[in-house]
Amino acid sequence: MIPTIPPLPTDNLYKFMALCGLAMAVACAGLRVVNERNIIEKANVYWTAYSVEVDVARRRQEMLFQDDKEELRNSDWWKQSEQQIDELRSRREPLQTAWRTAEESANRISSYLLFGIILGVGMMVFGFELWYFRVQRVLDESLALERALKKQQLKAASVGDPEPSRLSTRR
């Protein structure tokens, strides 16, 4: 005997639409959170590294400055140190620009994902509503009528009524 595979349910597009909407809303919400975290985390790492470099250069310069003020100010090392600090300061603007760009990118992507969440929730609500009002309520009424008819048929059979077809299908 060859086992048969039951057919896939293809009778309800509304359920499919509702479940796709639910999956879309959940996926977009998760992606939105992950995206924001990643962008902000990367920007924080770069900003922290920059801040540490600036602090180290300043402290090194201050420590040496305290010992021999005039002698160090005229040395080549002091001039190199000043150049390093100036370089670090000049890198600050591009980092701030990159930070703003990352924030704008995160906001733009978040707005797209928010649209996906709204669309998914809308599909879900619309699909479940159509499924309930157009399919499920009709099936429930049909089953209730069928149940009532079978009850009446059983009652008629137990009483001995020869014609169960005359039975009313009212509730």
| Burial class for 62, CB neighbours closer than 10 Å (0-12, 13-18, 19+) | exposed
Q: Is residue 83 part of a domain?
A: yes
Six-digit token string for 65: 């400055």
Contact between 71 and 63 under an 8 Å Cβ cutoff? The reply is no
Least confident of 20-24, 52-56, 76-80, 152-156: 76-80
Residue 50 burial (CB count, 10 A)? 16
Q: Is residue 8 part of a domain?
A: no
Domain that holds residue 146: 16-155
Least confident of 8-17, 35-44, 99-108, 109-118: 8-17
> Into how many domains does the chain fold?
1
Residue 156: pLDDT band with limits 50, 70, 90: confident
Six-digit token string for 169: 């299908």
Q: Is residue 134 part of a domain?
A: yes
Predicted TM-score (pTM) above 0.75: no
What is the residue whose two structure tokens read 């994902």? 113
Q: Is 105 helix (H, G, I), strand (E, B) or coil?
A: helix
Of 15 and 70, more confident? 15
Q: Is residue 146 part of a domain?
A: yes
Q: Is the pLDDT of residue 126 over 60?
A: yes
